[in-house]
Amino acid sequence: MEFLDMSGPSNSEQLGTDVARLHLHNKLQMEASKEADSRITSTAKQLEPKPTEIRKFQKTGDRELPSLWSQLERKIPEYFKDCEIFPSLLHGDLWSGNYSFTKDGPVLFDPASFYGHSEYEFGILTMFGGFSQQFHAAYHKLIPKAKGFEQRVLLYQLFHHLNHWSLPKHIEHVQLCRLQYFDRIDK
């Protein structure tokens, strides 16, 4: 494994540009995603409720969440109406702990790469913060925000919260889903 000296100067604008270029580079590679898998997407496939998870969910005291999910599920097509989606190569787990800077520029690491909607990247990217206004401005200079961007990002954040909920010690994500997403997604 190659050692990288990650003590270079911070360049959020270059990071935003590089991530946008990553998303734009492989528009025609969708077929590759059918055979690719990642930690996060394989976790999603395992999110089908098991009896122990149902009991864990019931202990949270939020019995309204299942009905909210069915309401949201019916509205999802509206959030993607007139939204052009092309297959982008995604980092898949891009949060502030998975990038740094060398003397040569930004580096990304610990990917869960797959091909998908470029806005998916913003689910985890915005969930924990750590990305500057310069990053966002540089990214959206190359890939402008499409109508409905903010609502779709909320959906992608919801996926990550549910993914974290399925992990040990993350039951608080159930309440976050309820308070931050289901209550706001309709507005």
Active site members: 93
Q: Residue 150, Cα to own-chain centre: how many angstroms?
A: 12
Is residue 150 within 8 A of residue 180, CB to CB? The reply is: no
Q: Which pair of tokens denotes residue 176?
A: 């976050």
Q: Which pair of tokens denotes residue 157?
A: 């954040």
Give the whole-angstrom CA distance, residue 66 versus residue 150.
Answer: 23
Compute the Cα dihedral for 66, 71, 74, 77 and give only its sign.
negative
Q: Any alpha helices (H) in 63-171, and if so which ranges? A: 65-80, 121-127, 133-142, 149-165
